[in-house]
Amino acid sequence: MNLSFIGGMAWAFLVFLIEFFIWHPSWEIRRSDVMLFFIGGIAFWISMFLVMCVVSILSEGTIKKKYGPLDSYYPVQIRIMTVNEHFQTVFKKCLDSLSAIGAGALTSDPEEGKIRASTKISWRSFGEFIEIRLYPKGTDTVEVTIFSIPKMLGSGLDYIKGVKNVEELRKAIAGER
């Protein structure tokens, strides 16, 4: 279920509580006005939920054209790639590539081969945690695994934000940008 829908229902429930438990006649607000606000709030959030679902479905074709067929539209996205360069060079490229998606590094440890980053809130999501893991496979070969995970646990839909994150990072690391 979409978080904006849940937020809208919470707002409508709050108005319901005000209407039945807190409202006082001296406020000079008629009960019918409060009830109309309550119903309007529910209608607005249901319509926003439906609009965002339609936008996601319509953008699916554009995403397929831009990134190719996807394994999953689930918000947690993973991409694995192999880079034929020295480990330190790839690690630096990975750190530099975070700017391609507007992410800031939280931690980076070349000894562990891990980079953790975070994106800011946007209209598509409440932000994402990005993790890049590097595994040396030889002297000049590194396997890079990129994860994009929503900050808001339980997100069932992120409007393809995770896909865009991992694909933009993959392109930046591979030098396709």
Q: The CATH number of the domain where 95 resides is what?
A: 3.30.310.80
How far apart, in whole angstroms, are the C-alpha atoms of residue 63 and residue 85? 29
Q: What is the pLDDT of residue 2?
A: 46
- 103 close to 118: Cβ distance less than 8 angstroms: yes
Per-residue pLDDT of the chain (177 residues; tens, 9 = 90+): 444 555 556 666 666 666 666 655 666 666 666 667 777 777 777 777 777 667 666 666 665 666 555 555 556 788 899 999 999 999 999 999 998 888 988 899 999 999 999 998 877 778 888 999 999 998 899 999 999 888 876 566 666 788 888 889 999 998 876
> Which residues lie below 8 Å from residue 166, measured CB to CB, with a gap of 6+?
77, 78, 79, 146, 147, 148
Which of 46, 67, 88 is the C-terminal boundary of a domain? 67
Are residues 55 and 86 located together in one domain of the fold? no
Q: Which domain holds residue 85?
A: 77-174
User: Does 22 reside within a domain?
Assistant: yes
Are residues 104 and 63 located together in one domain of the fold? no
Q: What is the pLDDT of residue 162?
A: 81
Q: What is the pTM of this model?
A: 0.61
